[in-house]
Structure 1
């Protein structure tokens, strides 16, 4: 004969707990030298709430918190952006980015990357500071096989063969007008002509030894064109990390200071857009990032990036939910400088604020984070957080 079991009602369970509570607290516990903790004077004596779920049980100790931690941050998640110059043997401090320098090509760059690798950061992206006399309206220095970017890539790969070297593909560091593409006299940034030069830039970087080509220009069709150009030259194993959702942000100022790459003033004969709103995305837009992501994936991107990171966590999550590709995010110069300034003023604990910001970026869905804090964060993570 089948037996049935009847569960006690909520009120019955409550009564069982109440009866158990009337027994002496340690009536059935083994002897111990532990003493009950003291409560603050004036604390009320109240019966326990009848709560079947108490989430704080899973946060009660450091061991438990670490065991249940959902997002794990490691130095392997970081890409370290480095600024490089060849106008002398000394590093040049960047005033708007305390703690960051333009690294000398022959000495400072290798020393800094060796330091990064010792901290577990084995990915870098190279940004060259182009001398003014090498800049032209069309930015042809971008694909000079002996240009600073190409020499830096080659030296890094010769010195550290297993280093993952990312590049930047855009014309603004090489363009006298400070834009990612060539500018017509009526102020229009030329798309297809720019893409033609970006392909040459990408191939020159691949020849120098780059592992990942990173178009940051936001021209239409550039990912597919670069993929075809790389494949045609035999660089089928070179990846593309597309700046998929790069916003026309106010947070880029210190970066442009570091490379002297801000848009220049125009005149009546040659209009130059004062910002990059014509090709970078409007900060007010969300759906547009999904369109850009669909196009980049279709055109052959291997990694998709959101820039900036901190103010665009919803965009990181949107891309994470819309694709199986890895997602990267750029904690940009303005984010770095704000954290530095607030910490210097004593308003923030720098270590805690930085690690929290990086955890937030990864929690939103980023697999990789480009951050100027890569070395500091790696050190702090090794020390334990």
Structure 2
């Protein structure tokens, strides 16, 4: 038998929470596990700007032919402007270009293969902790994966330890940085912290790979791009992975991009030729529909204004849920212990709850979150904050 020696791989623990949550009959259950935005009704909505763009495509799109290895060129230009700024000197000098990918995850896989293929022997350094799939994507590409400290056991951001570790990263290695809304912790670097990281990266001649999956969910679309634009303005070469899953709500459409910033236009052409070759062997052509939706929105002033307002509404709602939960924990004497929830950014919070406490929350209170204590704040129901706070208080008292 050909398959007799093949074993079974454990299922993804986060996706496994979906099944457990769906099978739970408790009407007061909470889904704080899977990282998708949810509205007040517990649904992941289709944005109205997206609906209008899709209708426009239905009415006007003329073909379903291939879009090429780098994807939709209009999407590539507009997503680059969103990330780098419409007045970016790099775009004017043709020093930056985007390759469309199947989601931000596809961009990560493409850049992993690019590093392995074109920058052999380079290691990649990830924050501890980081998004779990970062670990497997780069390992599967054959890269040597290292880690730098980020959030310690006391559930606080440790910038000093991060900088010390980066000082000892081998010269020329790649360092992955989260532009904003750090996944899974929610702890972001300050502007002063970013300047210190930039200094180390420049002196150690490290290659920064900036994962930008949550633009608009931290402090705003422009504000969240500050660190990325700082790095591209100060360094000759930067890699950026961008995702449209969260801020456009296009999770299942798989829309992302790998943006490469090179020292000059000629070198960018060289790099993009390699990316086209690698993409050809990964997925040939990226899917078109979601990217066409994004390009339609970003290319139309009215739709873009509507979309911007919708992103701001999502960002504001998450911020209100953070402050609301801390307020709900106050009567239980836990406001100070969980004050960090209100200081974090984006959808996720490293709550500080232990694996055992998370298990009790799931079994006794139908509160579902990742075993590390990471909670998706967008899954919190504003009308049931007191119920959630009471459940957290009970597990903290034992």
More helix by share: 2
Structure 1-normalised TM-score? Answer: 0.30
Structure 2-normalised TM-score? Answer: 0.29
Largest Rg, 1 or 2: 1
